[in-house]
Structure formats: C-alpha cells, structure tokens
Amino acid sequence: MSVAEILNYTYDDYVQWEGEWELIEGVPVSMAPAPVKRHQQLAGEVFMALNRTLDEACAECEVLYEVDWKVNEETVVRPDIVFVCDDEHEAYLTKAPKIIVEILSPATAKKDETVKFDIYESEGVQYYILVYPDDLKAKVYSLKEGRYIKVADYTHEVLAFDDLSCKMSLDFGKVFQKFRKKS
C-alpha cells in the first residue's frame, strides 16, 4: 500500500477534525487563520448585496456564507459566499452552487486562483468571482461550454446575472464604496 493510499482521507474523516480544513481530492488542506477585518467586511458587503437583489419569487434559492460543499467523498470546500438553489441538505451543500465568491487573501490566493478554480469549473459552477481586497477589484468568470471565460474585471460596475433562473445583480460600486473612503 502506498503512502498516498494511506493518507487519502474522506468526508467521514473530515468531519472528525478539529480546526478549519478543506479536503481536496483526499488531501487535507488547512484553511488560513481567521480572515482580517477587511476580508470579513468585504464578504459581508457581497453577501448583503446579493441577498438584497435576490428575487422573492426564488424561494428555492439562497445566498449562504462559509458553508461546506461536499463535492464528493474526497473533496469538501468552504467558499466564502455561495448562491445555490434546491439544496435541502442541512449539514453541507450537495449541489453545485450557481455563484461562488471567494475573497482572496495572501494565504489563499494561489489555491483560489488555481485549485478551486479548476474544481468549480469542472463541477459546473456558473459564475466564479474572485475579489481582490487590496485592489478593490473583482474578476468574474462565467461557464461557457464547460470552461470558464473571463467576463471582465469589475471595480464600479454592476454585474447582472440575467442567465440565472433568479434575476440578480451585484453592484461592485456599492460593495467597494466604503473601502475607497478608507484607502
């Protein structure tokens, strides 16, 4: 038996661990220490902005903050913010979210831009949004024919999610507004 086989963990192992972890293809990945205030504040602004625009007619959909998504038995990730529909499991998400937002930090940027990018793309997440707190910029990717295509960089613009079943938008001008004042 190889070392890789011995050190290959599953969701059942994951739920027993103390601390903050993600599980990527059977490999435990320690999450960064508690995010700095700016990270938390930006995540809160994005969460509230998405939640405010969520159409009341979309009762089967919800915006969630730091929830586990069990992709499969060997991969469990915890995105900063998700928009998901028709997922009734209480302990974790079982379906691919329609939108995932990650607020990048120096400790997580490489993982968010590569490993998670690939996971979200292959699992069919329709929109992946990377928020760069120091630049007050968001890179938005949309899934087209199974591949992420960069939509644009957003700093002051409004992103309309017209191709989702729930009509929503995200106003980056408002999300970043109070942070521009602090800079």
How far apart CA 40 and CA 45 sit, in angstroms, is: 9
How far apart CA 12 and CA 21 sit, in angstroms, is: 13
Look at residue 127 in the predicted model and tell me its pLDDT: 98
To the nearest 10 degrees (0 to 180), the angle between helices 172-182 and 37-53 is 150
Look at residue 5 in the predicted model and tell me its pLDDT: 62
Look at residue 68 in the predicted model and tell me its pLDDT: 97
How far apart CA 126 and CA 141 sit, in angstroms, is: 8
Can you give the pLDDT of all 183 residues of the chain as single tens digits?
Answer: 555 566 789 999 999 998 888 999 999 988 866 668 888 999 999 999 999 988 777 889 999 999 999 999 999 999 999 999 999 899 999 999 999 999 999 888 999 999 999 999 999 999 999 999 999 999 999 999 999 999 999 999 999 998 998 889 999 999 999 888 765
Indicate the DSSP class of residue 35: P
Cα torsion for 128, 14, 10, 36, to the nearest 10°?
Answer: 30
Beta bridge partners of 87: none
Query: What predicted TM-score, i.e. pTM, was given to this entire model?
Result: 0.92
Indicate the DSSP class of residue 137: E
